[in-house]
């Protein structure tokens, strides 16, 4: 059996992971946004979180990523983490005692404890904004059929879904949540990017974008965008955002109309 340290080292080849917290617990007080991920596949991290702007921000320590192998808390020689479902049925279920031990080994540091699950509350930009404004998150990634219900209740775990579809494991869902939150941390996207106008920020989908060439396969850039009249441009974009939202997302449109003064 690989020691957890070795498993982490394996993950590190994948990109820069900051494991300094594991050695220096004082780093928890750093004020940096901290993600802790509990997974059976630590080698999946940082994966996509280690590239581009998020990867650079990780190197610059604007946020940190701690990856913990649940199997470290597995039982017996084989480090067993799952068992057959009580009451029968297909597949395997992650044991409550193993999951609890993995959870209890993580420094909580005031962070929400989240289980990625298709049964959870659907993640939206408002929740992402809340998470980004907080100290970070502890994310438990399920595998198999899921997690023994008793640990969800005993540890008061919040369940979050990334959409009405079923993944094979919680890792990609955890990455999606982390990516959405970390890009909102000041300094991560750089000076030019604005997260104030993008989709969902005002309850609407974003207006369409255009750039050069001026003529693409006979299609010009809408004239109003090329004339430099900023109040006309703002009006055009607002109208486009409203039309798009009404057509594509009647659910969002209804909420938006209710909120309008």
Contacting ligand SAH (CB under 6 A), which of 99, 116, 128, 151? 116
DSSP reduced 3-state for 163: coil
Cα–Cα distance, 74 to 64 (Å, whole number):
26
Distance CA 153, CA 125 (A): 26
Stretch of residues binding ligand SAH (CB under 6 A), selected from 32-40, 117-125, 203-211, 241-249: 117-125
Q: Which of residues 140-199 bind ligand SAH (CB under 6 A)?
A: 141-143, 145-147, 161-163, 165-167, 169-170, 173
**Residue 89 beta carbon to ligand SAH: minimum distance, rounded to whole angstroms:** 10
10 phi/psi in degrees, rounded to 5:
-60, -45
Q: CB of residue 197 vs ligand SAH: minimum separation in angstroms?
A: 27
Alpha carbon 84 to its chain centroid, in Å, reads 30
Least distance in Å: CB of 119 to ligand SAH?
5
Nearer to ligand SAH, 100 or 202 (CB): 100
Inter-residue contact 157 to 163 (CB < 8 Å) = no
Of 10, 60, 108, 119, the one binding ligand SAH by CB under 6 A: 119
Q: Which residue is nearest to ligand SAH (CB)?
A: 142
CA distance 38 to 113: 11
Residues 213-252 that bind ligand SAH (CB under 6 A): none
Bond before 162 cis per omega within 30 degrees: no
Q: Minimum Å distance from CB 44 to ligand SAH? A: 13
From the CB of 261, what's the least distance to ligand SAH, in Å? 35
Residue nearer to ligand SAH on the CB measure, 65 or 93: 93
Q: What strands, in cross-sheet order, belong to the sheet with 113-122?
A: 63-69, 33-39, 136-141, 113-122, 158-161
Name the helix (H) or strand (E) containing 82: strand 82-83
Sites of contact with ligand SAH (CB under 6 A): 116-119, 141-143, 145-147, 161-163, 165-167, 169-170, 173
């Amino acid at each position: 059996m690989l020691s957890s340290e070795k498993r982490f080292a394996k993950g590190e080849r994948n990109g820069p992971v900051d494991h300094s917290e594991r050695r220096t617990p004082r780093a928890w007080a750093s004020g940096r946004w901290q993600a802790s991920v509990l997974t059976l596949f630590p080698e999946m991290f940082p994966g996509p979180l280690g590239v581009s702007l998020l990867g650079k921000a990780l190197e610059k320590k604007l946020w940190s990523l701690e990856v913990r192998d649940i199997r470290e808390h597995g039982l017996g020689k084989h480090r067993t983490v799952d068992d057959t479902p009580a009451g029968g049925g297909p597949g395997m279920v992650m044991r409550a005692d193993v999951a609890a031990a993995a959870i209890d080994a993580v420094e909580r540091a005031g962070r929400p404890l989240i289980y990625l699950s298709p049964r959870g509350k659907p993640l939206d930009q408002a929740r992402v904004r809340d998470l980004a404004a907080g100290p970070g998150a502890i994310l438990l990634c399920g595998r198999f059929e899921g997690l023994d219900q008793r640990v969800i209740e005993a540890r008061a775990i919040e369940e979050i879904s990334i959409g009405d579809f079923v993944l094979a494991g919680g890792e990609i869902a955890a990455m999606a949540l982390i990516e959405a939150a970390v890009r909102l941390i000041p300094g991560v996207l750089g000076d030019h990017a604005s997260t104030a106008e993008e989709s969902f920020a005002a309850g609407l989908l974003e207006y369409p974008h255009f750039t050069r060439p001026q003529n693409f396969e006979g299609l010009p850039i809408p004239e109003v965008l090329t004339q430099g009249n900023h109040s006309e441009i703002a009006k055009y974009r607002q109208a486009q955002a409203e039309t798009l939202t009404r057509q594509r997302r009647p659910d969002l449109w209804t909420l938006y109309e209710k909120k309008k003064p």
